Chains A and B, each alone.
Chain A
Amino acid sequence: MFPLGFFPYIIGGILIGVGVSFIYIVTGLHATQSSFFGTTISFFSKRPYFLQKQYLDSRGWRITFAVGVILGAFIYTITLAAEGFFTTSVEWWRLAIGGFLVGFGTRLSKGCTSGHGISGLASLSTTSLFAVLTFITVGILTALVIQSLGVFP
């Protein structure tokens, strides 16, 4: 059940919560991830959906947040990661198709693992609870089907 132990998961989770909490206490904003794709598209698309006020107001800090996330993972890698840099062996077509569905689905659902999973559950939102139960269940079923077809990892 826990071949890598509890430690990295619990510490990692607390650090993520500290980051989200810090931003909330200082700015009042909910630092979540998937809106970043829609708000960043607003720089390039004239479609009304992307030009909604909420997107235009948040597109700047969402890019700042994304760059911070990348830097934070980089700092971890050069300081604590015993194995150094890492490259996945998941094939490109899985990343491409999966990425497309993740982008489409999270925007349709208005939340992802961080939006529904962290900020939504933390806000005691039943909408987010249903979303989280749905994407975890479907994610598990999909991964098991893919594995049963002999595709690894």
Chain B
Amino acid sequence: MKSKHVFVFIGGIFFGFGLAFGGMSKQEIVLSFLQLKDLGLLLLLGGSALVTALTINIVPKVLKKPILGGVFKKRTRTLTKRTIIGAIIFGVGWGISGLCPGSAMASLGIGNLPALIGIAGMFLGAYVMGRYFT
């Protein structure tokens, strides 16, 4: 196993622990946010984006390259119709199920096995997009 994988794995553990700690692996909590009963998930999203923003914007000014070498990748996305249409379709699915990709993975870790149905749906949806809409 390459050393890169070890560190990605450790980071993933923090990610999944945080998702479960924040309740996002429970579709009931996600739906209570989307039904505007509990706005706590905004704090979770804001907190994670803020910590990551500090890292992404400051660390490359201090370190020339990542600790394992290579380059600090820039995440670039161009705004197109597909960005927004895709976000609309994602939003409908999120509102129906309370599932998003990361929280579905974390759901498996809390023993929430019905999320497997959602994950199967996500694979199928990703396949149909890549097969018929590219």
Residues of A within 8 A of B (CB): 1-6, 8-31, 33-34, 36-38, 40-41, 45, 47, 49-50, 60-61, 64-77, 80-81, 85-90, 92, 94-114, 116-128, 130-132, 134-147, 153
Contact = CB atoms under 8 A, between A and B. Distances in A.
A96 B110 contact: no
Contact of B52 (A6, A17, A127, A143): A17
Nearest to A138: B91
B90 A65 contact: no
Given A9-B23, A105-B125, 5 more contacts: A61-B4, A69-B102, A113-B103, A127-B83, A135-B94
Mostly, the B contact residues are helix
Given A19-B18, A20-B48, A72 B13 contact: yes
Given A90-B27, A111-B77, A142-B34, A99 B88 contact: no
Nearest to B71: A28
Interface string B29-50: 1011011111111011111111
B90 A27 contact: no
Interface of B: 4-5, 7-29, 31-32, 34-41, 43-57, 59, 63, 65-68, 70-79, 82-115, 117-131, 133-134
Nearest to B93: A101
A110 B126 CA distance: 11
A6 to B, nearest CB: 6
A99 B104 contact: yes
B78 A127 contact: yes
